[in-house]
Amino acid sequence: MLKIENAVIENGDFWLSANLQVETGQKVAVIGPSGAGKSTLIGAISGFFPLKDGQIFWNTSDISQTNPGLRPVAMLFQDSNLFPHLSVAQNVGLGIRPDLKLTPRQSDIVQTALVRVGLEGMADRKPAELSGGQQSRAALARVLVQDRPLLLLDEPFAALGPALRVEMLDLVDDLVRETGATLLMVSHAPEDARRIADQVILVEGGVAHSPQDTKTLLDNPPPALRAYLG
C-alpha cells in the first residue's frame, strides 16, 4: 500500500499538498488541468521533488528520504526514457544492474523481457533504429526487469498516435496484471483512464485528492473536473 501522509511537495515556487493512499495492485490514473501538479505528485513519489512536510510510506517503510534509485519504484518519463548511445539490451540491462555487469542468467532475463514486449531480435539495435512504439516497448521491458512493486508513468506515450497509445496501455495493463504491480499513471485523456484505471486521483487547486472509482468520478464530475473535461 502506498500512503502519502499530510505531504506538502515543493516544485520551485509551486506547492502541492497530498493526503491519500493507494491499495496494492490498484491501477490509478492521475488527471487534472495542465500545471495542476500531476507530474509533481509522481515526482515526489519517485523522489525527484523534496517534501516540505509529511511522509510517504510504501507498506510500513517510510521512503520520504530514500534516493530515487533505491525506492520501490519503476518510472517512465514523458521523454528520454532510453539512452540513445546504448543498445536496447543495455538499456534494459540497466534495470537489473546500473553498472551493466550482468551474469549470464541476468542477460537471459533481459532477453526474456524483450521477447515478452515483442522486441525479439532487436537487442543489439540503438534506440534511433526503433520506431516510436518499439522504443516504448523497450522502456517497458526495462520496467519488467526492474521488478519494482510500484510503476509510475508520467505520460510516456503522449507522443504516440492514438492507436499506438492504446496498444501500449493494453501492454501496460497486461504487464501489471502479470506482476501484480501497483500502477499510477498521469493522463490527459479521460478515455485512457476509463480503459485501464480502476481509480482516479484528481489533482487541482494545489491538492491531490484521494482516489475515487473511475466510472463514478467521470460520469458525475465535480465542477473543477467538469471545467477541465469540457
Partner 1 sequence: MVGRAESVNPKPGIGAAVFVVALISACLGSVFWYAKAGSGLSAYDWAAVRFTLLQAVLSAVFSVALAIPVARALARRQFFGRQAIIVVLGAPFILPVIVAVLGLLQVFGRAGWVSVALGWIGLPPFQIYGLHGVVLAHVFFNLPLATRLILQGWQDIPAERFRLAAQLGAGPVAMWRLLEKPMLMRLVPGVLAVVFAICLTSFAVALTLGGGPKATTIELAIYQAFRFDFDLSRAATLSVVQIVLTGTAALIAFNVSHSDGWGGGLDRPVQRWDTQSFGARGLDAAIITAAGLFLLLPMAAIVLSGLPKVFFLPGVVYSSAFTSILVSLGSTCVLLLLAIPIALAAVTRRYSWIEMVGLLGLATSPLVIGTGLFLLINPILDPSLLALPVTALVNAILALPFALRILVPSAREVVVRFGRLGLALNMQGWQFLRRVVLPRMRPQIGFAAGLTAALSMGDLGVIVLFADPERATLPLQIFRLMGSFQMQAAAGAALLLLVLSLAVFWLLDRGWRRYAKD
Contacts with partner 1, residue ranges (CB under 8 A): 46-50, 65, 67-70, 73-75, 77, 80-81, 83-86, 94-95, 98-100, 126, 128
**CA geometry: angle 61, 76, 26, nearest 5 deg:** 55
Choice between 13 and 99, CB closer to partner 1: 99
Question: CB of residue 74 vs partner 1: minimum separation in angstroms?
Answer: 8
Choice between 130 and 166, CB closer to partner 1: 130
Question: CB of residue 212 vs partner 1: minimum separation in angstroms?
Answer: 28
Choice between 68 and 222, CB closer to partner 1: 68
Neighbours of 71 (CB within 10 A): 19
Beta-strand runs (E) in 59-181: 61-62, 73-76, 150-154
Q: Is residue 210 a contact partner of residue 39, using CB atoms and an 8 Å limit?
A: no
Nine cell digits for residue 28:
490509478
Choice between 137 and 209, CB closer to partner 1: 137
Q: Is residue 192 a contact partner of residue 172, using CB atoms and an 8 Å limit?
A: no
Question: CB of residue 68 vs partner 1: minimum separation in angstroms?
Answer: 4
Question: CB of residue 66 vs partner 1: minimum separation in angstroms?
Answer: 8
From CA 75, how far away is CA 177, in angstroms rounded? Answer: 17
